[in-house]
Amino acid sequence: MNAQHVSYDCSAFQWAMHAFSNLSKRFFSRGCVRTSLSCAMFMGLFSTAFAANDKTLDGLVVPTFIEQAAASGIDHQYTGSWEFFVGGGGAAFDCNGDRMPDVFLAGGSSRSKLYKNISLAGEPLRFEQVPLNLSEKDSLSVTGAYALHIDGDAHIDLVVLRVGRNLLLRGDGNCGFTKANRQLSFDGGREWTTGFSAIWESGAPFPTLAFGNYIDQTAPGSPWGTCHDNLLVRPNLAANTSSNGPAYNDTTQLTPGYCSLSMLFTDWNNSGEPSLRITNDRQYYRGGEEQLWRVPTQTAPKLYTKRDGWKRLTIWGMGIAEADLNSDGYPEYALSSMGDNMLQQLDTEAEEDQPQYRDVAFDQGTTAHRPYQGDDSKPSTGWHTEFADFNNDARTDLFIAKGNVSAMPDFADIDPDNLLLQHPGGGFVEAGMESRINLPTQGRGALISDFNADGQLDLIVINREASVSVFQNIGVAESWGSKPLGNWLAIELQQTETNPQAIGARVVIKTGNLSQSRTVSVGGGHAAGSNGFLHIGLGVAERATVRVRWPDGDWSHEYRVFANHHAVLKRDADKAIYWYPVERVTN
Partner 1 sequence: MSTLRNYAAVIVLLTGVATLSTSVANDTLPWAEITPQLGATGQLPSGRLSQRSLDALNETGKALFQAQFTPNDGAGRPNATQAIIPTKSKRPREHAFFRTAGPDASACSSCHNQPVLGGASDFVTNVFVSEGFNQADFDSIDPQFSNERGSNHLMGAGLVELLAREMSRDLATIRASALQAARKTGSDVTQPLISKGVSYGHITASPDGLVDLSGVDGVDDDLTVRPFSQKGVMTSLRQFTVNAMNHHHGMQADERFGLKVTGTDDFDEDGYKNELNAGDVSALVAWQAMLEPPVKNTPSDAAWVEAASRGNQGMQSYGCLECHRSALPLESLDFLDPGPLDVVGTLSSNSVESPAIYDLSLTYWADSLPRNEQGYVLVPLFGDLKRHQMTDRKNDALGNEQLSQRFVDRTRFMTAELWGVGSTAPYGHRNDYVALHDIILAHGGAAKASRDAYAAADEPAQLDVIAFLKTLVIQQ
| Least Å from the CB of residue 483 to partner 1 | 4
For partner 1, the binding residue among 339, 524, 532, 539 (CB under 8 A) is: 539
E-state strands within 131-180: 142-148, 157-162, 167-171, 177-179
For residues 91 and 103, the answer to whether their CB atoms sit within 8 Å is yes
For partner 1, the binding residue among 107, 288, 486, 523 (CB under 8 A) is: 486
Give me the 44-83 binding string for partner 1, x by CB under 8 A, dash otherwise.
-----------x--xxxx----------------------
Q: Which is nearer to partner 1, 182 or 557 (CB)?
A: 557
Q: Is 483 in the site for partner 1 (CB under 8 A)?
A: yes
Amino acid at 325: L
| Least Å from the CB of residue 578 to partner 1 | 5
Rounded (5°) CA angle 429-433-434: 75
Region binding partner 1 by CB under 8 A among candidate stretches 156-164, 245-253, 305-313, 554-562? 554-562
Restricted to residues 369-408, the positions that interact with partner 1 (CB under 8 A) are 392-393
| Least Å from the CB of residue 278 to partner 1 | 36
Q: Is 496 in the site for partner 1 (CB under 8 A)?
A: no
- What is the size of the binding site for partner 1 (CB under 8 A)? 49
| Least Å from the CB of residue 574 to partner 1 | 8
For partner 1, the binding residue among 5, 543, 547, 571 (CB under 8 A) is: 543
For partner 1, the binding residue among 4, 48, 585, 587 (CB under 8 A) is: 585
Q: Which is nearer to partner 1, 290 or 454 (CB)?
A: 454
**Dihedral sign (CA 293, 524, 151, 184):** positive
For partner 1, the binding residue among 86, 493, 541, 569 (CB under 8 A) is: 541
For residues 502 and 508, the answer to whether their CB atoms sit within 8 Å is no
Q: How far apart are CA 519 and CA 522, in angstroms?
A: 10
Q: Are strands 230-234 and 208-213 parallel, antiparallel or unpaired?
A: antiparallel
Establish whether the linkage from the previous residue to 256 is cis, with ω within 30° of 0: yes
| Least Å from the CB of residue 15 to partner 1 | 25
Q: How far apart are CA 543 and CA 322, in angstroms?
A: 25
Q: Is 531 in the site for partner 1 (CB under 8 A)?
A: no
Q: Is 571 in the site for partner 1 (CB under 8 A)?
A: no
List of residues 6+ apart from 287 with CB closer than 8 A:
none
Rounded (5°) CA angle 393-101-167: 125
Q: Is 564 in the site for partner 1 (CB under 8 A)?
A: yes
Q: Which is nearer to partner 1, 238 or 585 (CB)?
A: 585
Restricted to residues 423-482, the positions that interact with partner 1 (CB under 8 A) are 423-425, 478-481
| Least Å from the CB of residue 158 to partner 1 | 21
Q: How far apart are CA 514 and CA 528, in angstroms?
A: 30
Find, among 444, 427, 299, the residue nearest to 363 by Cα: 427
Q: How far apart are CA 445 and CA 353, in angstroms?
A: 32
List of residues 6+ apart from 484 with CB closer than 8 A:
392, 455, 456, 475, 476
Residues at the site binding partner 1, with contacts judged by CB under 8 A: 55, 58-61, 97-99, 392-393, 423-425, 478-481, 483-487, 511-514, 539-543, 560-565, 568, 574-583, 585
